[in-house]
Structure 1
Amino acid sequence: MKVETPVSVRLTRRYEATAERVFDAFLDPERARKFLFHKPTAQMISVEIDARVGGRFSFVDRRDGVDVEFAGQYLEIDRPRRLAFSLQVENVAMHGDHVLIEIVPAGKGCELTLIHDVSPSLAEFQGRIEQGWIGIFDELVKVL
């Protein structure tokens, strides 16, 4: 049986905020709803976060009248350095991608590196996935 190698999206961004503040934004429902899996032109309908290893999350964003759910399970939570989770996007990536976020102090702020492993069957969406994370990183600045 051949094991398929995932396609990876890798991005790095610096923030003028502490590693703790950036890390906590991903797990705080009130802040996360403003940037995580949310398009500025859409309406975030619901956010549920069970911030523990094995806990699940769900974000439902209404986009052009269609509810899109982003869901997954936390695989690793090591505040403020590492956050890993599975990710399924309704009707797109139902089998579960893997996302790893690493945050290290850098100067007066921190540096965040994201690695999003995508199934090879979704390789054609690599550019869209990268643009999605760039948008998320841009919106994250507003909640820090």
Structure 2
Amino acid sequence: MSSMLTRKTLLRAVLAFALAALLPLLPAFANTAAPYSAAAFKAAQAAGGPVLVEIHADWCSTCKAQTPIIQRLAADPKFAKLKIFRVDFDGQKDVVKAFGASMQSTLIVFNGTNETGRSVGDTKEASIASLLAKAL
């Protein structure tokens, strides 16, 4: 009985440790970019909340630098309601054109249906945070 109790205690300790180690990572995944679709974007706009559209290319070094910044900011409770949509610069040329973007690494923010700001090539966390705040 004693060894069974010890195993259960050890198992609980291991599970508690694993859970404690993973909990800080959960917010980073809570608000990640969804692939752009017109229907989902229109629904997010109709809901009236903040929306970010990322014009992104996988080969773009600036886009790669923006991604962890946006993920960190999206994990901030201030931006909890932010909906993020990623437009594939190479695969969704019609959407890129519809947004009036001429290059990858373009970030466009909306509050409901109103565009409230945009930037191109920005990799500074403070100015991206300022841009996202314009959507609130």
Which TM-score band (shorter chain)?
under 0.3
- After TM superposition, the score normalised by the length of structure 1 is 0.25
Q: TM-score if structure 2 supplies the norm length?
A: 0.26
Q: State the structure with more CA Rg.
A: 2
Return the structure number with greater helix share: 2
